[in-house]
Amino acid sequence: MRTVNAAIAYNENLRVSGSNIWGGFCEKLVRTSYGENAQYYPSATAHWNAIPAKYKHSGKPRRGGLAFWLQKSGTGDGHVTLCVNDIGGVNSNDIVSRGIISRVDYTVIEQKWTNLKYVGWADPWWNEDNKVIIPIPVAKPVYNYRQGKRVYSNKMHLRQANSDSVWNLSLALHVRGYFKPVPTTTYSPELKNAVAAFQRRQGWSGSDADGIAGPQTTKKLGLVWTK
């Protein structure tokens, strides 16, 4: 079995080559892309029905996943494609020209072949020994600024605790990649080091890069310095 990157690269080479031998062979195409040499399923429908539920997913297909369509009638071969990016792009045979592999948005399949219905996507799976698990990313937490992005001057000292001003400072540094931990309400030595790194990046030195945020630093971070 190939990795996701290798399978997409192989599939892309087939597409770019203009090969026209893929008429009616959607299942063979995705199998070949992943380097799966065992007997492939006779149809996309049979493949979808064989995949355990834990490997199936709803919504827009993810990069490396196999996107499936089944006949609305409940019978027939269906269709399967390899998703090649995370915005829903799939490389499908026959969708533009018979036998040719073309890049289209996954929604185009139903638009052209109105007898098909999108049923979801799956991790590349042929059996328990031949599968590639595509991890679903964990949603990143959303952090919000407090007190109108204000930073009060009397809260900007080392080891200040329980301060929304410090929260705003740490959040501004967090989103810029200077402060790796989650935002904090405590002006810790680690936060001080992050502030100093940001200050040095501005070309400042000496007392202007001591790790304690003042009017210049907060302004550069898009915060509102308040006395």
Q: Answer yes or no: are the C-beta atoms of 14 and 82 closer than 8 Å.
A: no
d(CA 218, CA 45): 58
Residue 137 has what pLDDT?
73
**What is the structure's pLDDT at 35?**
94
- What per-residue confidence (pLDDT) applies to 136? 75
pTM of the model: 0.64
Contact 184, 210 (CB under 8 A): no
Where are the domains positioned within the chain? 4-131, 147-226
Alpha helices in 94-137 (DSSP H): 107-112
Class of 4-131 in CATH? alpha beta
| pLDDT at res. 140 | 75
Fold match flag (4-131 vs 147-226): no
Q: CA torsion 193→195→199→200, rounded to 10°?
A: 20
- The Cβ of residue 178 has, within 10 Å, a number of other Cβ atoms equal to 19
pLDDT of residue 9: 97
Q: Note down pLDDT in tens along the chain; length 227 residues.
A: 899 999 999 999 999 999 999 999 999 999 999 999 767 799 999 999 999 999 999 999 999 999 999 999 999 999 999 999 989 999 999 999 999 999 999 999 999 999 999 999 999 999 999 999 998 777 778 899 999 999 999 999 999 999 999 999 999 999 999 999 999 999 999 999 999 999 999 999 999 999 999 999 999 999 999 99
What is the DSSP-derived secondary structure letter of residue 208?
G
Element (H, E) at 197: helix 189-201
Give the per-residue pLDDT at 146: 97
**Fold assignment, 147-226:** Muramoyl-pentapeptide Carboxypeptidase; domain 1 (1.10.101)
